[in-house]
């Protein structure tokens, strides 16, 4: 289907975004209920569950700022969500493109809700190598956003291959 295709309903994509949002919020409620800030549980040789708070963006970008970043990232998240809903309505028939957008939408809204309710994003997934090299903690919303971004790139590469 062409990029401008409007065939298909956008409601299943909103349902996917809602499911991602709900899973994200459920896991965060569990972490907030059972862990104190900094608590960690060893799960495997490369994975821990940890409670962390991120007042910044990805990789704690601007986390040390004075608080204005909360509203900047909330505004960016809300603007992105509105634009994504528009794109979903316009391109619901494009499965990979819409899947990507739904993942990003569910994750973005999950992190926006955290910023509005707590003033920070709750992170709890910690991946590491040999207990030495730690990747920054993340959450279900971050995972969904990453999957959505990768799928958007794949969708664009497929589109270029078809037209080239």
Q: 24, 39, 114, 123: which one is catalytic?
A: 123
Full-model pTM: 0.86
123 in catalytic set? yes
66 lies in some domain:
yes
pLDDT tens string 85-139:
999 999 988 999 999 999 999 999 999 999 999 999 999 999 998 778 888 899 9
62 lies in some domain:
yes
74 lies in some domain:
yes
pLDDT tens string 69-81:
667 878 888 999 9
CA-to-CA dists, residue 95 to 25, 46, 100, 137, angstroms: 25, 34, 8, 30
Q: Which domain holds residue 156?
A: 12-36+45-163
3 lies in some domain:
no
90 lies in some domain:
yes
5 lies in some domain:
no
124 lies in some domain:
yes
24 in catalytic set? no
How many structural domains are present in the chain? Answer: 1
Q: 24, 114, 142, 155: which one is catalytic?
A: 142
């Amino acid at each position: 289907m062409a990029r401008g295709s409007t065939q298909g309903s956008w409601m299943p994509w909103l349902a996917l975004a809602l499911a991602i949002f709900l899973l994200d919020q459920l896991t965060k409620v569990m972490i907030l209920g059972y862990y104190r800030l900094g608590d960690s549980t060893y799960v495997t040789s490369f994975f821990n569950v940890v409670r962390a708070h991120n007042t910044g963006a990805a990789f704690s970008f601007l986390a040390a700022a004075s608080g204005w970043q909360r509203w900047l990232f909330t505004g960016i998240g809300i603007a992105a969500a509105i634009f994504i809903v528009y794109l979903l309505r316009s391109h619901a028939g494009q499965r990979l493109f819409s899947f990507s957008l739904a993942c990003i939408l569910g994750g973005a809204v999950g992190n926006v809700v955290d910023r509005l309710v707590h003033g920070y994003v709750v992170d709890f997934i910690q991946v590491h190598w040999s207990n030495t090299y730690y990747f920054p903690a993340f959450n279900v919303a971050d995972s969904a956003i990453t999957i959505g971004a990768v799928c958007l790139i794949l969708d664009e590469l497929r589109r270029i291959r078809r037209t080239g």
